[in-house]
Chains A and B, each alone.
Chain A
Amino acid sequence: MMIYFKRIFKIGIINFWRNRWITLATVMVMVLMLFVTGSLVFSSVLLSSSIDRIEKKVDISVYFTTHAAEKDIVALQDELNKFPQVESVEYISREQALENFKLRHTNNALITQSLEELGENPLGASLNVQAQNPEQYESIAKFLGASSYSGVIDKINYFQNKLVIERLSNILVSARAIGWGAALVLAGIVVLVAFNTIRMAIFTSREEIHIMRLVGAENNYIRGPFVIVGVLYGIVSAVITMVFFYPLTLWLGPKAEGFFGGPNLFHYFIGNFFQIFLLLLAVGVALGAISSIIAVRKHLTI
């Protein structure tokens, strides 16, 4: 049995080397395919980090009346924190709100003067609520409106921003769906191209496969070396693609970070080097081997 596998490996490696023009052409297409696969990974990282960032910018604020007791607000904060849909709740006290207000209008003499004349803090405390995703704001806002604390709540800005939040939420959902859809279509095209390239490579050997059958070789013995060659295509292509990605992400990293607001693709590439390599290797090897098995089967008919 060992000698059987040893021979299959040996023939596969020899064929990979001896048919180097076919090997070169196939590896080039496979590199292109893995390059697109890797690019899809990078794009999805950029897209989802951009979407996450936009989602984080959406929140709702609950403004309390100036006479609301701090213990009530803190109690409501604790209650909100127990909600699974709630990502975070930030408490801004009356004093903090006044500080922020002053800081924001530090160059506006009229406002500063008006505040001084007023003598007391006119601002109420507030809670900034961040949900897991923008679709959940409506239910949070409804809960707040119906809660026992509604008496001390001055206003909830969700109802003012409802339309914007809903639209943004829809856009983000669509952006994710379009991103996935485009990735799937592209991945499908790439798989077909690579599969057909390997089929063409094996098509050139169809006469050899017939001869092997006629001189008494078993199907697995004929198929084995082709599968080894397919696996080698995958391995070599994955290595070459990783080599390409190094300078490319180094160059593109800061540019993409500036445009999308992070993360730096080069840091992501280096930080996840082995995971990306394993992904490309798995895709390349699986596609190489499966395409070979399917393509050879067609010629094993006599």
Chain B
Amino acid sequence: MIVFDHVSKVYSPTSTAVEDVTFRIESKEFISIVGHSGAGKSTLLKLLLAEDTPSEGKVFFEDVDVHAIPKADLAVLRRKIGTVFQDFKLLPSKTAFENVAFAMEAAGATDEDIETDVPQVLELVGLIDKAHHFPHELSGGEKQRVSIARAIVNRPDVIIADEPTGNLDPVNTYEIIELLKKINSFDTTVIVATHNKDIVNGLERRVITLEGGKITRDAKKGKYIL
């Protein structure tokens, strides 16, 4: 489903984010990409979203080279990939409902579908009672739930989460990971970039370990080992 083929990203001669990375992700997998800060986790996710271009190699999503897609058509790719960010990236002038609805509106959904689906996903993430709150009226954990709701509302094939619990306390962290596991149980591929040891060890799923931009380990039921 997703293939990184000998991908490198060099920002400058002294700054290499990822180096000759090759791996494949199958549909319905739950993968953790682990590594210290600066190991290249976020860069890999940015390359998949075509937010950044590789210096070498190719990234394929459903057999399509994502960096060969014209910029104007990237919207279609990004609707197939739901994204959850460490800093939530919610639209500050929109309520929780509107933030989630925006992703559907952008995809051209009808008003009727939006009216049905948005409350459903907000219910799923446990935020239906705060649907009309603005982001500044929500806690960190609640903002991340809105972010997850927005990521899944278009029923994407893949969810990528870049340090989704980086700004959260242990209770919220646990709940967010449970939510991601639940999403994966609906056959959605989930890719989580994290440096949280407890999360990775608790999951007992595939773990790709990055060190200095290179893959040092790729284990089916991996642990956080650095």
Chain A residues whose C-beta falls within 8 Å of the C-beta of B78 in the assembled complex: 213-216
Task: Choose, from B103-111, B118-126, B189-197, B206-214, the stretch at the interface.
Answer: B103-111
Within 8 A of A (CB), among B81-119: 83, 89-93, 102-103, 105-108, 110-111
- B110, A3: Cβ atoms closer than 8 Å: yes
Given A3-B110, A3-B111, the answer on whether A216 and B93 have CB atoms closer than 8 Å is no
Chain B residues whose C-beta falls within 8 Å of the C-beta of A207 in the assembled complex: 89
Task: Choose, from A217-225, A238-246, A248-256, the stretch at the interface.
Answer: A217-225
Cα A18 to Cα B107 in complex, Å, equals: 24
Cα A302 to Cα B89 in complex, Å, equals: 15
- B91, A212: Cβ atoms closer than 8 Å: yes
- A218, B89: Cβ atoms closer than 8 Å: no
- B150, A4: Cβ atoms closer than 8 Å: no
Chain A residues whose C-beta falls within 8 Å of the C-beta of B106 in the assembled complex: 212, 215-218, 221
Cα A207 to Cα B49 in complex, Å, equals: 17
Is B68 an interface position by the 8 A CB rule? no
Is B72 an interface position by the 8 A CB rule? yes
> In the complex, what residue of chain A is closest to B154 when comparing beta carbons?
A216
Q: Of B72, B77, B90, B108, which contacts A219 at CB under 8 A?
A: B72
Is A15 an interface position by the 8 A CB rule? yes
> In the complex, what residue of chain B is closest to A10 when comparing beta carbons?
B105
Cα A266 to Cα B226 in complex, Å, equals: 81
Is A107 an interface position by the 8 A CB rule? no
Cα A212 to Cα B49 in complex, Å, equals: 13
Given A208-B93, A211-B91, the answer on whether A216 and B76 have CB atoms closer than 8 Å is yes
Q: Of A3, A208, A213, A216, which contacts B92 at CB under 8 A?
A: A208
- A214, B51: Cβ atoms closer than 8 Å: yes
- B51, A216: Cβ atoms closer than 8 Å: no
- B79, A15: Cβ atoms closer than 8 Å: no
Chain A residues whose C-beta falls within 8 Å of the C-beta of B51 in the assembled complex: 214, 302
Is B69 an interface position by the 8 A CB rule? no
Is A19 an interface position by the 8 A CB rule? yes
Cα A301 to Cα B74 in complex, Å, equals: 11
Is A267 an interface position by the 8 A CB rule? no
Q: How many interface contacts (CB-CB < 8 Å) are there between A and B?
A: 55
Contact with A along B43-78 (1 / 0, CB 8 A): 000000101000000000000000000011011111
Is A176 an interface position by the 8 A CB rule? no
Cα A212 to Cα B105 in complex, Å, equals: 11
Within 8 A of B (CB), among A171-219: 207-208, 210-219
Chain A residues whose C-beta falls within 8 Å of the C-beta of B83 in the assembled complex: 214-215
Q: Of A4, A214, A215, which contacts B108 at CB under 8 A?
A: A4
Minimum CB–CB distance from B104 to chain A (whole Å) comes to 10
Q: Of B75, B103, B111, B154, which contacts A218 at CB under 8 A?
A: B75
Q: Of B90, B91, B107, B111, which contacts A216 at CB under 8 A?
A: B107
> In the complex, what residue of chain A is closest to B105 when comparing beta carbons?
A7
Minimum CB–CB distance from A214 to chain B (whole Å) comes to 6
Given A215-B103, A215-B106, the answer on whether A19 and B93 have CB atoms closer than 8 Å is yes
Cα A19 to Cα B134 in complex, Å, equals: 13
Cα A59 to Cα B99 in complex, Å, equals: 74
> In the complex, what residue of chain A is closest to B83 when comparing beta carbons?
A214
> In the complex, what residue of chain A is closest to B109 when comparing beta carbons?
A3
Cα A207 to Cα B90 in complex, Å, equals: 10
Q: Of B77, B93, B102, B107, which contacts A15 at CB under 8 A?
A: B93
Given A212-B102, A302-B51, the answer on whether A218 and B93 have CB atoms closer than 8 Å is no
- A208, B91: Cβ atoms closer than 8 Å: yes
- A214, B49: Cβ atoms closer than 8 Å: yes
Within 8 A of A (CB), among B15-66: 49, 51
Cα A212 to Cα B90 in complex, Å, equals: 9
Cα A208 to Cα B98 in complex, Å, equals: 13
Contact with B along A1-22 (1 / 0, CB 8 A): 0011001000000110011000
Minimum CB–CB distance from B86 to chain A (whole Å) comes to 13
Q: Of A3, A217, A301, which contacts B75 at CB under 8 A?
A: A217
Cα A73 to Cα B226 in complex, Å, equals: 113
Query: Can you list the 6 inter-chain pairs with the closest CB atoms, starting with the nearest?
Result: A217-B106, A216-B79, A216-B78, A218-B75, A211-B89, A215-B103
List, sorted by A's number, 8 A–B pairs whose CB atoms are closer than 8 Å.
A3-B108, A212-B91, A214-B49, A214-B83, A214-B89, A216-B76, A216-B79, A219-B72
Could you list which residues of chain B lie within 8 angstroms of chain A, going by C-beta atoms?
49, 51, 71-72, 74-79, 83, 89-93, 102-103, 105-108, 110-111, 150, 154
Q: A213-B75, A218-B106 known; 12 other A-B pairs, CB under 8 Å?
A: A3-B111, A7-B105, A18-B93, A208-B93, A212-B106, A214-B51, A216-B106, A216-B154, A218-B75, A219-B72, A219-B75, A221-B106
